[in-house]
Amino acid sequence: MPAFDTVISGGRVVTGNDVISCDIGIRGGRIVTLGENLGAADHRIDARGKIVMPGGIDSHVHIAQPSGPGIIMADDFESGTRAAVCGGNTTVLPFCMQEKGQSLRSAVTAYHKLADRQCYTDYGFHLIVSDPTPQVLGQELPALIGDGYSSFKVFMTYEGLALTDEQILKVMTVAKETGALVMVHAENYDIIRFLTDKFEAEGRIAPRFHAASRPIPAEREATHRALTLAEVVGVPVVIVHVSNGEAIEEIARARARGLKVIAETCPQYLVLTAKDLEGLNMEGTKYVCSPPPRDAASQQACWDGLTRGAFDLFSSDHCPFRYDDPQGKLTPKGRTSFRWVPNGIPGVETRLPILFSEGVMQKRIDLPRFATLTATNHAKAYGLSPRKGSIAIGADADLVLWDPSITRKIAHADLHDGSDYTPYEGLEITGWPVLTMLRGAVIVENGRLTVPKGGGAFLPRAATSVL
Ligand code: URP
Ligand code: ZN
Ligand code: ZN
């Protein structure tokens, strides 16, 4: 009997801080050997000329999430995870949103029903806590954390989601007591409401005013406040989707005071700007997300942050809506103001190619840092390590072969999500994932799915291991 189910031979393998030329022996869905001239195998994959990377973990995606009256998210779990694997990901962590008045447990049950037997990737759920009642804080949340939902997001803005500072303090206290991790959407709700009302009263309702209504100070202040609340409770915190240098400075100051802060940024803050929201007619809605893309200086600050280690996580914040659709970006007539445009853009399939091309190929980051930012740190932060996120003996054989010689332009026609556009249309990319393997099985080869949906498994998660 061959020693291995599969051997991947001849590739440049990204392991921890190193890039080594070696073969990878896989048995029972796990990596069992890294070495030279490995023996017989049932299957052999020739990786000469390719880079072998840990499968991407996208720890910030929204799939099938209710998004307001008459608005429908463009991806269900089948299409969202299909796009994910075609873009070199093997695990995603979508959000399970509690609606006001709903028990967290019933929200979890409902999301499992949506995801069960639909996914191409492995997956877990972060919880969104929108109604922190005594029952939720005292019983439901601790029980769910024990069941493997070890992270939750709180919002400082958005109708129906924003929590008061006191509520956030209470949620953070549960995290402190249980070892869970709190993720914060940091934007000042009152500033946004004030500016939105003001712009509307002045007739300034075009998509570009979305960006103007959520200026950098609104993010900077809320970031500072979120960090202050975490400091008061004495709990680590994740600041998600950081878009600019002033928020990065707040994080640096809090770290210097001794607070453990995990910081995340996303592709939209590297390659889009607020100018993209100025498209003719309603085209600008294609770029409406929060925080909004900003200016060239903010882009540069985010690149600097990626290069010098200010960021731990690079996620997509995939939150897809269709463009040419009244249930999507073109909200029904009578709701023409930017206020009604659903916030969020698709990006789960393009996250890794954009960072590979603009980061690795442009020599802003090296291959080990790419793997750390896109897989390893996500596994460590969200309780999936050492099983996920690294090429190491004993880890799941979640692997992606990258061909650095491929050049292509991003085109929505080639992507696999449920939206009808990509905000990155036309962006020139060098390097693309050509084979995705989940737990030892090839699931995508040369852009084609090789398995039916449903092979992705739910991953109950432990507490964070970066703290
Ligand atoms: O605009 C965005 N980012 N929509 C997704 C929801 C969120 O705040 O992450
Ligand atoms: Zn958010
Ligand atoms: Zn998000």
Report the candidate in 169, 167, 174 with the shortest Cα–Cα distance to residue 151: 174
- Say if CB 128 and CB 155 are below 8 A apart: yes
Kindly tell me if the per-residue pLDDT of 251 is higher than 70: yes
Kindly tell me if the per-residue pLDDT of 120 is higher than 60: yes
Predicted local distance difference test score (pLDDT) of residue 24: 98
Predicted local distance difference test score (pLDDT) of residue 463: 83
Q: Which atom of ligand 1 is nearest to the CA of 185?
A: 8
Q: Which atom of ligand 1 is nearest to the CA of 343?
A: 1
Q: Which atom of ligand 1 is nearest to the CA of 155?
A: 8
Nearest CA residue ID for atom 2, ligand 1: 344
Domains of the chain: 4-53+389-449 (2.30.40.10), 55-360 (3.20.20.140)
Considering the chain, what percentage of its residues have pLDDT values greater than 70?
100
Q: What b-and-e string marks burial along 30-63, b requiring 16 or more CB atoms within 10 Å of the CB?
A: bbbbbeeebeebeebbebeebbbbbbbbbbbbbb
Q: Alpha-carbon distance 166 to 229, whole Å?
A: 9
Q: Which of 189, 290, 338 to mutate to test the pocket of ligand 1 (most atoms within 8 A of CB)?
A: 290
Kindly tell me if the per-residue pLDDT of 467 is higher than 60: no
Predicted local distance difference test score (pLDDT) of residue 280: 82
Q: Sign of dihedral through CA atoms 52, 57, 61, 64?
A: positive
By the 10 Å C-beta count (0-12 exposed, 13-18 middle, 19+ buried), 134 is classed as exposed
- H or E element: which one contains 116? none
Ligand 2: centre distance to CA 42 (Å)? 45
The pTM (predicted TM-score) of the whole model is 0.98
Q: Alpha-carbon distance 43 to 7, whole Å?
A: 6
Q: Alpha-carbon distance 364 to 370, whole Å?
A: 10
pLDDT tens digits, residue range 21-56? 999 999 999 999 999 999 899 999 999 999 999 999
Ligand 2: centre distance to CA 290 (Å)? 7
Q: Alpha-carbon distance 465 to 255, whole Å?
A: 18
Residue at 108: amino acid letter: V
